[in-house]
Structure 1
Amino acid sequence: MSNPASFRDQSNWADGFYELAIEVGSTDDARIQEVLGAVWSAAGVQGCFAFRDREPEEQEPVSCSAASLAEYGHLRGQVRLPTGRPAVCGCVAIRGGDESSDWLDFYVPVGALSKAGIAYWDGGSFFRSAVMDDWLAAVGARAFRRTPFSLAVIGFEVSGCTDAATLAGRLPESRGIGYLLPLDGVLHYGAAND
């Protein structure tokens, strides 16, 4: 049986990312650092590594930091999925520059999710899993308690699909993805419903 937690098995990293994409609300490295630490802890990620072509025991860990994200592009680890199976996971920062805020994307690749037996709905063009949505929403809520953020969206490659300014404090009624939207300091979860 294939192992969804194996770094060396490149099929684990295939088919795109199922994400908790967080709009940090700033372009400050310190904010990326705070949110990264909160998410890594909230998800219970084991390890922090730069390379996906060698197993964790075959490489030195790197710091779970904005500096490491800048140097390596992605940080990788292993996480226990809601089914109890371990799987590879990662994180990437999408820097907005002067015009927009930064995003931090925590992800589990679809290849690993498939091998871990996560049931999903394929609407013809994307992966969607209510189990993963709820788990990622719980990770986001725990991270928010440690360090608030502007918005988080949950789903298949969802980073930047909207932003807090566009939503203007209102969850969409029809949602193809999940939303974590803070209102007056309280985080509200709008699950995907269409």
Structure 2
Amino acid sequence: MTSPADFRDRANWSGGYYELAMEVGSSDDARVQAVLSALWSAADVRGCFGRTDREPEEQDPVPCAVGSLAEFGHLHGRVRLPTGHLVVCGCVAIRGDDGSDWLDFYVPVGALERAGVAYGDGRPFFRSAVLDDWLAAIGAETFKRAPFSLGVVGFEVSGCTDASTLAGRLPRTRDIGYLLPQGDVLRYGAANT
């Protein structure tokens, strides 16, 4: 029987990604590392691995580090959803030429479906208020330890906007969630469409 926490089951990694994407605000490796470490801890990710073609028990863990992201492209682990299900998860860095890097923490939709997470509410795209709130809480905890310029929450949200475009203002109509720093405070604007 397959589980949403099985690495080798390709169906768990399918269907796109539900994400917490964070604009780090710098391309400095130390800054990216600080956000990565804070994120992994805030999400309480179990393990850190470079491969998905082997179960965690069949491979050596890798350091949760910028160097591992550079070597493997993605870091993978398991995380417990607010529903109680253990599922596969991952993180990827998008290193920008414009001097601002992003870290995307994600749970694949295939694993979410296997875990029975309800989504959609009649919409033609994936949306889960439970996951939005959970990812926003992870972002808020990450921000306490390692501030970032912007966080966005939702299905495949990476690259949909940036801090400079928002200029410190939450959009009134939001198809996704926003974690927008205002000084030392992180303001969460949930999706409202």
TM range (shorter): over 0.9
Residue number in structure 2 paired with 1:44: 44
CA distance in 2, matches of 1:184, 1:73: 32
Identity of aligned residues (%): 70
CA distance in 2, matches of 1:192, 1:21: 15
Q: Deviations over 1:132-174 (max 9, x none)?
A: 0000000000000001000000011111110011101100000
Displacement of 1:31: 1.1
Residue number in structure 2 paired with 1:34: 34
Q: Which amino acid aligns with 1:29?
A: D
CA distance in 2, matches of 1:114, 1:155: 15
Displacement of 1:184: 1.5
TM-score (structure 2 length as normaliser): 0.98
Structure 2 gap segments, 5+ residues each: none
Residue number in structure 2 paired with 1:4: 4
Residue number in structure 2 paired with 1:132: 131
Q: How does 1:105-124 map to 2 (within 5 A)?
A: 105-121=104-120, 123-124=123-124
Question: SS of the counterpart of 1:88?
Answer: strand
CA distance in 2, matches of 1:132, 1:32: 24
Q: Deviations over 1:51-102 (max 9, x none)?
A: 00110000000000000000000000000001001000000000102x2410
Structure 1 gap segments, 5+ residues each: none
Alpha carbons of structure 1 residues 155 and 191: separation in structure 2 relative to 1, 3 Å: same
Question: SS of the counterpart of 2:151?
Answer: strand
Question: SS of the counterpart of 2:6?
Answer: coil
Question: SS of the counterpart of 2:131?
Answer: helix
Aligned structure 1 segments of 4 or more residues deviating by more than 4 angstroms: none
Let me know the Cα RMSD of the aligned residues: 0.9
Question: SS of the counterpart of 1:128?
Answer: coil
Question: SS of the counterpart of 1:92?
Answer: strand
Residue number in structure 1 paired with 2:192: 193
Displacement of 1:123: 2.1
Q: Which amino acid aligns with 1:42?
A: A
Question: SS of the counterpart of 2:40?
Answer: helix
Q: Which amino acid aligns with 1:87?
A: V
Q: Deviations over 1:105-148 (max 9, x none)?
A: 00000000011111101622x21111100000000000000010
CA distance in 2, matches of 1:131, 1:138: 11
Question: SS of the counterpart of 2:63?
Answer: coil
Question: SS of the counterpart of 1:192?
Answer: coil
Tell me if 1:62 matches 2:97. no
Residue number in structure 2 paired with 1:171: 170
